[in-house]
Amino acid sequence: MRTAYYISDGTAITAEVFGHALLSLFPIQFNHTTIPFVENEEQAYKVLEKISESFQDTGERPLVFYTIVNVEIRKIIARSVGINYNFLDQFVAPVEKVLGVPSKPEKHRTHSIHEKTYDIRIEAVNYALANDDGSNIRNYEEADIILVGVSRSGKTPTSLYLALQYGIKAANYPFTEEDIGDILKMPPALRKYKRKLFGLTIEPERLSQIRSERRANSRYASIKQCRMELREVENLYRREKIPFLNSTRYSIEEISAKILAETGLQRRKY
């Protein structure tokens, strides 16, 4: 199996994102190795050794994706036996030409604690944790969005992802069996904040599978119960004109991106 390296004198997040995005286009499996904080020449030469060992073990030249600001370290990595891709070199010169301004490379600028949005994102994460699963309905005035749906439909991980990645204050509220009764009506706690609501739903078979991992052979996880709950929440979404998304075949990243696209919420990432 061919190895793909993601190397940086920072967190290596940028190299990972670019590299994974490119390799996802090819129906091939890779052995992924990330090496962050290569900050001196000694560390750089150790990275070269790892790349050489990988080549010797597999007989295939590794793919090396790197974003390195330090010129001397960048030159060392560029000498590896791998097939090297320097993402910064590919784009910096053309962008400098368009902007008419020279770049000023600085380590850790992209993913550092000095980002102006860092405190915003931490505050959003704390908000998501404090307002998870309907545990606190007094702070909904502060929410940017309130995710609603049945238990285990993806509300909590999506709320946390929106907070951590984009600085969005996302609360979430579960529709329980007690809420549903004979027919699900809009809970009074949510009525005032209807404009902030976004619904998640999921296919009943998948919901039953997820719930069974938590409570096997229970009424809660039965396909009959799952179908009933989902039918009621989807009827509520349509009746109250609440936008909603079926999360069955989407990752958390995709769910979050689709929510942002539909709601127009501002990303507070950079």
Residue-wise pLDDT for 128-138, tens only, equals 999 999 888 88
For the chain, what percentages of helix, strand and coil (3-state, to nearest 5) are there?
50, 15, 35
Write out the two tokens for 234: 């989807």
Check pLDDT > 70 for residue 107: no
Cα–Cα distance measured from residue 162 to residue 181, given in angstroms and rounded to the nearest whole number = 31
Cα→Cα distances 36→23, 51, 107, Å:
19, 14, 12
- What pLDDT band is residue 267 in, cutting at 50, 70 and 90? confident
Write out the two tokens for 135: 């545990």
Q: What's the rounded mean pLDDT across residues 42-70?
A: 95
Q: What's the rounded mean pLDDT across residues 15-40?
A: 93
Q: What's the rounded mean pLDDT across residues 77-106?
A: 84
Cα–Cα distance measured from residue 40 to residue 27, given in angstroms and rounded to the nearest whole number = 36
- What pLDDT band is residue 115 in, cutting at 50, 70 and 90? low
Cα–Cα distance measured from residue 226 to residue 164, given in angstroms and rounded to the nearest whole number = 30
Check pLDDT > 90 for residue 196: yes
Cα–Cα distance measured from residue 32 to residue 191, given in angstroms and rounded to the nearest whole number = 47
Cα–Cα distance measured from residue 202 to residue 240, given in angstroms and rounded to the nearest whole number = 19
Which H/E stretch holds residue 72?
A: helix 71-77
3-state secondary structure of 6: strand
Size of the chain in residues: 270
How would you class 203 by CB atoms within 10 Å of its CB: exposed for 0-12, middle for 13-18, buried for 19 or more? middle
Name 137's Cβ contacts closer than 8 Å, sequence gap at least 6: 131, 173, 189
Question: What is the per-residue pLDDT for 193?
Answer: 96
Cα–Cα distance measured from residue 145 to residue 158, given in angstroms and rounded to the nearest whole number = 11
Cα–Cα distance measured from residue 162 to residue 259, given in angstroms and rounded to the nearest whole number = 9
Contact predicate 149/158, CB 8 Å:
no
- What pLDDT band is residue 105 in, cutting at 50, 70 and 90? low
